Every structure is written in structure tokens, then in C-alpha cells.
Amino acid sequence: MFTGIVEGIGTVRNIRFLGSEASVTVGVPASFSDCHPGDSLSVDGVCLTITGVRGDLCTLDVSAETLKRTTLGTIKQGAVVNLERALRLSERLGGHLVSGHVDGTGTLEKIEKVQRSWIIQIGIDEPLSRYLIEKGSIAVDGISLTINRCMGNSFDVTIIPQTASMTTILRKRVGDRVNIEIDMISKYVEKFLSHDKAAMPKGPASRIDRDMLIRYGFGEANEHF
């Protein structure tokens, strides 16, 4: 689990394709010296498992599914990537809950400088756009961002100077692809509200209804708001 607060920028040193899979070696900052084989590492928002560590180099395996679904499928040697180590439960959750399981990719449609910040517009596929809400959270290349506006199949976010200096987002150009992970809470809400009865767990029907809530005072409390 991650927070979407990027800790550093790494450089892809080597890519080795193994059939439909790949092994990627990334040069990491000195602050990542506590990384060990078996640890999870977010690379441009993709949760990968470290398989080897040698000095400032971390080697990670990339599955066929990940290559197909994310921008790692077209990444080149020398590319710079956003890095975040897995969240410790004792730390502050500065961004939002990010799993590192990318839902799809988006395309940068517009980059506009506004005073000290930048407004970036990103287009995504329609199946993902239904999860977006204004002021909701989204992860773009592993960066936790707040959605300013939703416009059909696109949305825009603000990049403040701190985010610009700590991530690779402004090294992108219009037309470049980025990894998108929507807020996982929205997917769970959709699942719970779905009318697909076959997908719901079997068990006794819920005894919670309006009458029960009123009986225990919830309805009365609500009248005061």
C-alpha cells in the first residue's frame, strides 16, 4: 500500500524482456538504501516486487499483465520514473490510499502554466471516467492528486511547485501516456451498490432498514441537521 506522495525519482538503467514478461533495473536515490528483495516499490504508480538489490540499483520483475496495462510496456532505458516505498502503518497518510494496481492509462491533453502552478488536463477511457468526481482523489504516475474538474472523458489537476520539483510529471509532453489509478473507495462503493445479485455474498438478509434506524434514534438525530 502507498500514499501517492512520491519520495524520489529513479532512472531506468536496464530492461530485459523474458518472453511476455520483463525484468527492469532502476537506479534509486541514496535514501532508498533500506530496500530489500521482496519489498514492494511503486514505479510510476505501479506496484512491483524488488527481486535484487546491488548498490543503488533495484531489479524488479514486471508481469505480462502489467506490461500490457501500464506505461511500463513501452518504457525505455534512461527514462526517469517516480518512486515510492511501501507505506509503514506508523507513518502519516499524506496523500490517499494507493494500491499500485493501475486501472489503465491516460493521455496528457493540455499543460498550462497558471501563476506558480500548472493545470494539466488528462483524457481517459470512458469505463474509468464514471469513477471521477470533482475534488476526489486520483493517482497519476503514482502521484496523489485532487481532481479540479471532470469534463466527459477527461479531467484536470493542479501541479504545485513542490509536486513539480519532486516528480516527473512536468517532464511529460502533450500526447504522452500516464498511469491512472482511480480511488479504490469508489470501486468498492460501486460493487456494494451493484444490482448484480450473483456477485453478492450469500447469507442472511440485512435487518437494517429505515424503521430500525429511527427506532435507535438515528432518524431523530437527523432532523436536527
pLDDT one-digit tens code per residue, 159-181: 999 999 999 999 999 999 999 99
Average pLDDT over residues 58-79: 96
| Strands 117-123 vs 104-114: parallel, antiparallel or unpaired | antiparallel
Where, residue-wise, is CATH 2.40.30.20 in the chain? 8-85, 104-189
- CATH fold of 8-85 reads Elongation Factor Tu (Ef-tu); domain 3 (2.40.30)
pLDDT one-digit tens code per residue, 178-220: 999 999 888 888 888 775 555 555 655 556 666 766 666 665 4
Domain 104-189, second-level architecture: Beta Barrel (2.40)
Non-local (6+) Cβ contacts of 77 within 8 A are: 12, 13, 14, 15
